[in-house]
Structure 1
Amino acid sequence: MHTIKRRALVLTQEGAGHPFRRSLPSHVFTRPCDGEAPAEPVSRWKLSGADWRGFFSAYCLAFVAVSLFIA
């Protein structure tokens, strides 16, 4: 006996040229409403003091190692 498979209805964006973009839901392509402020981009380049300390210690250790190898 055959069972009928139910598949979810998928609405695609006909204007999107790439197959991946066609598979995205429609709310991805809509702009925010007039009352909503656009989201601020998140900066991932915020370095703390520990980051700078780690960078400079690695730089100094590498410089000393190369200097000892050359000498």
Structure 2
Amino acid sequence: KHCRDFSNKFIKSYNKIKNSFMSLQNSQENETLIKEIIKDIDKIKTQIDELYNTQKDLMQILGPLLTQFELNLA
């Protein structure tokens, strides 16, 4: 579930960035639009970094439990 949520957020973020660039290509150079797009990209990058760190922390916690579980199965 956690991976699916991460994937869904990532896809939504990617589509938002893609749509922003498509809008930019279809319009004349607009400094305000460019600044807004850059701000959105920074915000999305921060969200992705936070999700990655959550995943990393979760694996550090669950890693030993998973190893022990696998050893118990063997």
TM-score normalized by the length of structure 1: 0.36
TM-score normalized by the length of structure 2: 0.35
Higher relative contact order (CA 8 A, sep 6+): 2
Determine which structure has the larger helix proportion and give its number: 2
